[in-house]
Structure 1
Amino acid sequence: MECLPDEEYPKGLGRCSIYGDRPHTCRSFPAKLNDSNELAILYEIPSNGRDGEPAYDLCPRQWSASDLEPNDTIQSLVIAQYEMTFFKKIAAIWNQDPGEWNNFPEFIDIIYSNRISSESKNHSEPIPHEIEEKEPHTDQDSGKFRKAA
């Protein structure tokens, strides 16, 4: 939804066109999980992002609990936390032996392409979905990347 500046919205109003598909971090902003991961805690955000410059205004008012849907917010926070843990593992693997920047998209593609596996024929439980190191990548052979098992 967008509108031109008026008395109610002196700077106008704009909304992201991907609102329904936005990342879980954005869906739960400005909340975070408490230490036991059971409750969403709202935290205050600054009114300006950089040195009081109007171009960097963040939110027109502080948020309240009624601004967020309880179940969706907790779910988004848990998913965001899970994804951040996964991203940190990916970064740690890449940073062990960083390759050329142009190899990084293929590395990420391999990780995500192998994020789901089948049950083992010898086990009744699913195979763990852990990231393990396969082989370090080299400039000569960019096809040999670490993968998600």
Structure 2
Amino acid sequence: MGERREAAERLREAEFEAFAAGAAGRLLHVAVLLTGDRAEGTELLCAALSRSYADWFRMRGEDPYACTRAEIVRRFAHRPWWRRPRGGVLGPLDVRERLVIVLRLYEGIAEEQAAAQLGMPSERVRVITLRASAALRSRPARGGAAPRVREVAS
């Protein structure tokens, strides 16, 4: 029984290492966009990856990238108010707007999926996407030009 458990543990480690090596860069970018800070984004990613590692066998049949991204979103959404982001590219946006913009525009997930992940109606996600995109377009960038925001077809 002990050998089987050790073999399963080695398999989990190998699978998880392969997943983390392939997905960590993009997941880190998601976390940094949300937090507005690389150190906080790294901390958020490490916590989410730790949770994914612990749940690795329970994730069978599910997309580990989507599960880890959902953990990043959950942890970011439930952070204390004093740890809320104040800067970064998405500086003028509040927490909900950041979540919607990152999921919809950066990650490119559908409105319905974003709504389900955030626990809000899809119409609300659409409205937040439009409002946040307009806020980002109207804000002059450091170079003087407004940042380009990619439109997502519904």
* TM-score with structure 2 setting the length: 0.27
Higher Rg = 1
Q: Indicate the structure with greater helix content.
A: 2
* TM-score with structure 1 setting the length: 0.28
